[in-house]
Amino acid sequence: MFDSSIVPLSHSLKSLSAILKKAEAYCEARKIDPNVLLTARLFPDMFPLVRQVQLTCDFAKGCGARLAGLPVPSFPDEEKTFAELQARIAKTLDFIGSLKREQFADAATRTVTVKIAGKDTENKGAAYLSSVVLPNFYFHLTTAYNILRHNGLEIGKGDFLGRS
């Protein structure tokens, strides 16, 4: 479970961090107010870039904590700049990086309870990872990528996959 969760989540958060660095440099080079990108949305009823990054981090730290049998750390949603988003990603990486493989020994069968649409929902760890965490994590990560790509940032699949 450690290899199926912490390893890919960490890798993808590092890719997101690199993409955000490119976005910040893009704003500087083109004299674009960073808030234009930070508050950009793909559609009016979708969350802006800042919230997409926050949620990506939330799913990673929540997953790590729950599968390791620990309380989920609380990070206030106060980020408004690229630097603050980078700090949130770093804090998330620090937390999930502190988790030990041994803490995941019974994670696949551990009962995990999360609120979904305001209702407590229980899953075994393996189902929680495959049916809740990974789809949501990658949805918000992909949406953040798409917001930036849609707004002209020259990034590609290699950036998303952490190969650039």
Is residue 58 pLDDT above 90, yes or no? Answer: yes
Please check the confidence at residue 164 and state whether its pLDDT lies above 70: no
**What would the CATH number be for the domain defined by 2-161?**
1.20.120.450
Q: What is the mean pLDDT of residues 16-25?
A: 98
Task: Specify the amino acid at residue 60.
Answer: A
Q: Helix %, strand %, coil % for the chain, to 5?
A: 65, 5, 30
Please tell me the distance from the alpha carbon of residue 32 to that of residue 60, in angstroms, as a whole number.
Answer: 30
Average pLDDT over residues 10-23: 98
Angle formed at CA 124 by CA 123 and CA 129, multiple of 5 degrees:
85
Each domain of the chain, given as residue ranges in start order, spans: 2-161
State mean pLDDT over 96-117.
Answer: 95
Q: For residues 65-84, give the mean pLDDT.
A: 97
pLDDT of residue 116: 86
